[in-house]
Structure 1
Amino acid sequence: MSSFSFRAAALSAAIICVSVTQPCFAKNTNDNTYSQKELNQQSVMAVLWTQVSGEYRALSYQAFNLAKMSLDHYLANRSGDKKVAIVVDADETVLNNSAYNAWLVTSGEGYSQTTWQQWMDAAQAKAMPGATEFLNYVKQQGAEVFYITNRYEKGREGTIKNMQVLGFPFVDNDHLLLRTDTGNKEPRRQQVLKNYDIALLMGDNLSDFSNALSPEGLDDTLAAVDNNKTLFGNRYIVLPNPMYGDWEGKVYQHNWRTTPGQKSDMRKGQLHSWVPQ
């Protein structure tokens, strides 16, 4: 996942509506007074689940166990003479940034590139459960790890420091492919493919795997996942992240500049509710 950079996107003015297949909702009448702090309270359970639940840890271990089995199968059945690599996202894939998200909740602040830069420089992200062991297993098997992340170049020093402290292998400029002029990861994946066969990819966002899996709309995204369902659990390994992601931007129709009140309405407008009879 990717990184938090997509939150800072400056796009067109919000259109407060949803498709006819979705429930209708009214614009927040207190839109001008609904604060970022109030909006952040909606994230409490997601951040709390990430930090304290055994289920979160179990899902992370499960993902890396699946990745190990997938890599073993790939190595046992591969042909060709290219070197082998795996590709992983950084944030919420091998790095757990929930402490930053918890700070957003407790401080009432919105995400900003300034505070995110401070977080990266602090190099305090924890490893996702099972990440360090798996990444070093990859190295032991003679394969390499490429970290394709949408952290910006100015975060390189803090990211390398953080990853090295956690004991990740291949933490160098050649294997850490940060965002430059675009958040599209496909050119960086193609860069790896020039010299390596990619055994598997790991991420928390669908765009960590293929652009085809992350079209513009919510319904189209669900259809894309269904059409590629056989890839998940073997070539594509997804990590749990309920805190943020590309999906949230689709809820806002890709306009991150909507107000806290509008975002709250848009979120609730996507809920499919049961109505007692």
Structure 2
Amino acid sequence: MQSLLWVQNAAEYKALTYQAYNLAKLRLDEILANNQSDKPIAIVTDIDETLLDNSPYSGKQIELDENYTSARWAEWVKEIKAAAIPGALAFFKYAKSKNVTVFYISNRSAEQTTETIENLKLKGFPFADETHVLLKTNSSEKGSRRSVVKKTHEIVLLLGDNLSDFSTIFENSTTVQRNKNTDSLRTSFGEKYIVLPNPIYGDWETKGVLEGNYNWTNAQKDSIRRRKITSY
């Protein structure tokens, strides 16, 4: 509840998303000024909590006191009501104005392609079509979809709220591994990787704190969370 209240109410959250997109614009300008690639330039971005705000779905979870369910998530997606994350629309419109292609790689189900594209179009995001929106089919691993983009384009920036949005080394990683890999790639953040804040959900909890086990009871989850808090 605290995480959701922060995302929906704290000006600090909005400040961080503006900061991320301001940095992305600065980096894009630098990249374009020094571009020597023979391929057309592209940006790869996640969708949820990177450029579309799904916090009302989390609000419904709290209202109904329920865990994540694919049926409830599908219900929310079909509403086509996700708002744009502050700063996102201006940045992606700017990228298009500079002849930079945008590819949206998301782990929304491919069955939700129509609703997803409609939501993106409704909010004004460029390249919102089936060629540029690559959703999950058989695997949540995004590296293969990034590889498809690399065949025709030079990916110069990646944006996301989850570290697997940037590199396959973060797939199915423990908390210790995620932190070690983050340290090893420290110069990439703010350079090629632009991270958006998301304290509500993500691999940091499911594959990290909760150790990749999706069958914990609520009581067990509470115990694990408390055990992994550092105090003095």
C-alpha contact (below 8 Å) 2:141/2:171 kept by paired residues:
no
What is the aligned partner in structure 2 of residue 268 from structure 1? 226
Q: In 2, distance between residues paired with 1:261 and 1:156?
A: 36
Q: Give the CA deviation at 1:71.
A: 0.7
Write the letter of the residue equivalent to 2:231.
S
Q: What residue in structure 2 maps to residue 165 of structure 1?
A: 122
Structure 1 residue identity aligned to 2:125: F
Unaligned runs of 5+ in 2: none
The count of residues paired between Structure 1 and Structure 2 equals: 231
State the distance in 2 between where 1:272 and 1:211 align.
Answer: 28
1:239 aligns with 2:196: yes
CA distance in 2, matches of 1:205, 1:132: 20
- Structure 1 stretches of 4+ with a deviation exceeding 3 A read none
Does 1 or 2 have the higher relative contact order (CA < 8 Å, sep 6+)? 1
Q: Distance in 2 between matches of 1:154 and 1:118?
A: 13
- Contact (CA 8 Å) 1:132, 1:168: kept in 2 or not? yes
- Aligned amino acid, residue 271 of structure 1: I
Alignment correspondent of 2:47: 90
Q: CA deviation at 1:267?
A: 1.0
CA distance in 1, matches of 2:37, 2:224: 49
Q: Report the Cα distance in structure 2 between the residues aligned to 1:73 and 1:107, rounded to whole angstroms.
A: 47
- Which is further off, 243-252 or 134-143? 243-252
SS where residue 187 of structure 2 aligns? helix
TM-score with structure 2 length normalisation? 0.98
1:7 — aligned with what? none
Unaligned runs of 5+ in 1: 1-43
How much does 1:80 deviate? 2.3
Structure 2 residue aligned with 1:255: 213
Give, in angstroms, the shift of residue 248 of structure 1: 0.8
Could you tell me which residue of structure 2 aligns to residue 35 of structure 1?
Answer: none
Inter-partner Cα distance in structure 2 for 1:162 and 1:47: 22
Partner of 1:187: 144
Percent of matched pairs sharing the same residue: 44
Q: 1:202 aligns with which of 128, 148, 159?
A: 159
How far did 1:213 drift? Answer: 3.5
Write the deviation string for residues 218-274 of structure 1: whole angstroms up to 9, x where unpaired: 111111101110000120000000000001112121111110101111111110111
Determine which structure has more spread, i.e. the larger CA radius of gyration: 1
Instruction: Report the Cα distance in structure 1 between the residues aligned to 2:200 and 2:104, rounded to whole angstroms.
Output: 21
- Deviations 1:172-225 (Å, cap 9, x if unpaired)? 000000001100000000000000001100000000000114452111111110
1:116-127 superposed matches below 5 A: 116-127=73-84
Secondary structure in structure 1 of the residue aligned to 2:49: coil
